[in-house]
A and B are shown apart, each in its own frame.
Chain A
Amino acid sequence: MSEKNRSLGAYRDVCPPGTLDLIWSLAERLKGLSLLHVNSTRMGGGVSEILLRLIPMFEELGISARWEVMTGTPLFFTATKCMHNALQGDEKFPTAEMFEEYKDVNRRNVESIPLDADIAVIHDPQPAPYIEWKPAGARWLWRCHIDVSRPQKKVWYFLKDYVSRYDGAIFTLASFAQKLKIPQFLIYPSIDPLSDKNRELLPEQTAAVREKYGFPVDKPILLQVSRFDKFKDPLGVILAYKMVKKTTDCCLVLAGGGATDDPEGSEVLARVRSEAEADEDIFVLDLPPDANLTINALQRLAHVVIQKSVREGFGLTVAEAMWKGNPVIGGAVGGITTQIVYGLTGYTVNSVEGCAYRIRYLLNNPEAARRLGENAKEYTRTNFLITRHLIDYLSLLSLLLADKPG
């Protein structure tokens, strides 16, 4: 069955007991509702992966769901990347020309995208100005997927002018909440356990990936899967690996996917390649956005998965690795601290040295690594699967409709 045609019933065996009954009961009162999602990329990145699965689920439940993707110019995406970084605390500031392009591109997009829907969810800063064209009577939510716990104030105040006009905002973590006069809701992101990236694989499928990339069979694999982005700290991972290598033999795989709205990726990738080129046990894989089966196999081949981000919205790769029963070492930032319960489902670390220490510990204590991995899988089943995400959305939609005047 193709991913798009998979029915909700297929999740019965992987989600916690009673989940599907609850979903159908929640959806009963929402039948016939029209729902619009808008974001800025259809391929690559966590947001599009989640929408790709949620939209057919809403449809199956009788909710008319639409997903529109805005288009932009190179300057627009440079501007929004700059805003994205500034909202995550970066010192760079978008230029006046960038702000103008941001507004212009939104204006042009709105002309070609129908906005009629009972409820709209507008994702991230890129289409935030759409609120200026909100139809009367509709309820609109701004869904923020990025870490805005310490934003650069000037950019945040610019964006806040738009955000404040929504009927509510959804953040990924409590620490991302802002001083706003609109209601702010908390919804964790999720992974799809039946997608190509997360479903069970045959041993020969994982073996084929090992063979394709030439990973040694006699060395444990350390893996970080993430975009080549400075906030994911791939260079820090290489440093940690080099520290571990002094005492415990292993190899390192850095696998990155690209997102079409991330113009800085190639620059970071070049630096990673330069750091890695002298070591034949470091594998840098620049994967296309649809390399889901490869990423799945890599996560199943890995002995320890690392997500050493220094800023992070949520870190879906952490949940993906946990779902495969991996012990995960993550940077103690953003959503990673919610996913990794220290010492129970993995370890959070605050430095290259801390990362190296925990890698050494797990490589040398396979029983402890196995126990963490088992806990991690069950923790993900309860908290981070797409079925839980769907329940959260349905609950919020019910609440919005109940509060609707008239």
Chain B
Amino acid sequence: MEVKELLGLRADNEIQLMELLEDVSCDSIYFHMHSYFLRHSFLSGPYTNDFANWAAIQLRDRVLGEKLAGVSISPDRGLDDVRIELIETIDKHLLQLMSIPSATPGSPFHFMSSQIVEIPLGIQVDDLPAFLEILKNVHSSSIYYHIFEARIRVRRGRNDFSSWFDECLGLKDLAAEIEKIDFYMYSLEDLRSEIGRLCRMELET
């Protein structure tokens, strides 16, 4: 589970956002690029990272919102690379503006970070049908952990489900299909459904 921490740092405009992005920890960058998934497991919002949402909604700068939404995280690039891309994106965007967009009063960007408390759920499965059954009812934070934390923060390279299908069940195609999902385009509940669908297809073949 994730314990959310408030850093007491706030940006009121695009320049402050850029400057604080230079200073905050990688954990904070990670949090704001991912927290959407834990907070919005049911409804989908406009973008899946907090910087893009803030720019589009609170700064009313939809162009920057779209550009920041395009910054992505992947297992093969470090969080400092992501930080640099975010800063460069804002910097280039600012060069094209005549004035600095500021947030609506009372809506600054508040930097946060988080710590993950890893909890063994004590649930064990040995085959695909059993996995599918558990997937239906497991807490969505477990899906988050095995997909997002495993790939980026724990740096296991790929999601835990694909690793297990490949290495323990020998289901290489299913593992590859799941790893091919663009995880950042789904809510956790949607991911639950999509992974379930791929597993059922595998069982039917």
A→B interface (CB under 8 Å): 16-19, 21-22, 25-26, 149, 171, 174-180, 183-187, 333, 341, 344-345, 375, 378-379, 381-383, 391-392, 394-396, 398-399, 402
Contacts and interface: CB of A to CB of B under 8 A. Distances in A.
B142 interface: yes
A186 B5 contact: yes
Interface in B86-135: 106, 108, 110, 112, 115, 117, 119-123
A45 B136 CA distance: 37
Contacts, number: 92
Interface string B169-181: 0000000000000
Contacts of B108: 175
B6 interface: yes
Contacts of B3: 185, 392, 395-396, 399
Contact of B112 (A18, A186, A379, A392): A186
Interface of B: 1-8, 10, 39, 41-43, 45, 106, 108, 110, 112, 115, 117, 119-123, 136-142
B111 to A, nearest CB: 9
A17 B6 contact: no
17 contacts: A18-B137, A26-B1, A174-B6, A175-B108, A177-B10, A184-B5, A184-B7, A333-B106, A341-B43, A341-B45, A375-B43, A379-B42, A379-B43, A381-B42, A383-B39, A399-B3, A399-B115
Contact of A382 (B41, B45, B119, B137): B41
B139 A382 contact: no
A398 B139 CA distance: 18
A21 B121 contact: yes
Contact of B4 (A17, A149, A186, A402): A186
A191 B7 CA distance: 27
A175 B110 contact: yes
A249 B141 CA distance: 46
A142 to B, nearest CB: 13
Contact of B8 (A19, A184, A187, A399): A184
Contacts of B41: 16, 382
Contacts of B140: 16-18, 382
Nearest to B2: A395
Nearest to A380: B42
B142 A22 contact: yes
A19 B117 contact: no
A326 to B, nearest CB: 17
A344 B43 contact: yes
A18 B2 contact: no
B18 to A, nearest CB: 19
A399 B137 contact: no
Contacts of A149: 106
A19 B119 CA distance: 13
A-B pairs, top 9 by smallest CB distance, nearest first, are A18-B139, A177-B6, A174-B110, A184-B6, A395-B1, A186-B4, A17-B137, A22-B139, A18-B138
